[in-house]
Structure 1
């Protein structure tokens, strides 16, 4: 039987990370399954996990007055949901919900923080990976804004 750690290391987010980094991060992972319309995160609730989507789809949403919930991003297999914790925020800055049956690896944020404190090289490798991910999201947002306002 394949362990959660072994499966987590196969996720695209883990690809290209040094083996010791992916092993440490995978050690913070557990399986998490969500039914359609089930919430992964709720705005202002504690940001205790982030999620590597294995299969399914997750809508990242914000509340807009007079419009209600608006989907600002959709994450599918191979993508990551839940980056609020990276900026030191102990709470989610958005909602996210499964739009279909979704399997993820939930990565325990406290575990990741502890490993970053113990091993600065782990933290540095992880921040480089997340920086690349955040840059991609910023570029995608810029293109969406151009579509809307250009």
Structure 2
């Protein structure tokens, strides 16, 4: 399994500095719903400290956790893809400090600095690939448990 990419440290220093000029420091208290599946995705975060649970609603009362995120992790990628709606919900599992980025401003910066745009998209693609690999592993574990440990 590949190692999780830490998006800010993966960017070359000049590009990271350009992106960080758009950052705003925010914090979320424990049990704060950061966003809900289906809501408008117009920003993203890089977690500085704390833990965030990504979840999927099963019905009106039940949710399942699909991933846990921590320091250095990217929170939110739906701002990149139409229809710009969150695919999952996000809940602060503990107090969270994060850098928040406005998607419109970041996209404008990426258009003006195509090297930054390409580097950022590569980083996001690596994050997506890593999370897909993790999900596949979890599905295989669940399948094995249901089949009595035999794959």
Q: TM-score, normalised by structure 1?
A: 0.86
Q: Is the Cα contact below 8 Å between 2:10 and 2:123 reproduced in 1?
A: no
Q: In terms of Rg, which structure is larger? A: 2
**Deviation for aligned residue 1:114:** 0.6
**Deviation for aligned residue 1:93:** 1.6
User: Which residue in the other structure is 1:44 paired with?
Assistant: 38
**Deviation for aligned residue 1:66:** 7.3
**Deviation for aligned residue 1:70:** 1.1
1: CA distance, partners of 2:45 / 2:31: 16
1:128 aligns with one of 122, 139, 144: 122
User: Which residue in the other structure is 1:24 paired with?
Assistant: 18
Runs of at least 4 residues of structure 1 off by over 4 A? none
Tell me whether 1:98 sits opposite 2:92 in the alignment: yes
Deviations 1:64-121 (A, max 9, x none): 1376111111111121111112223322121101011111111111111111121221
Tell me whether 1:108 sits opposite 2:96 in the alignment: no
- Alignment length (residue pairs): 139
2: CA distance, partners of 1:67 / 1:135: 30
3-state DSSP class of the match of 1:37? coil
Tell me whether 1:149 sits opposite 2:151 in the alignment: no
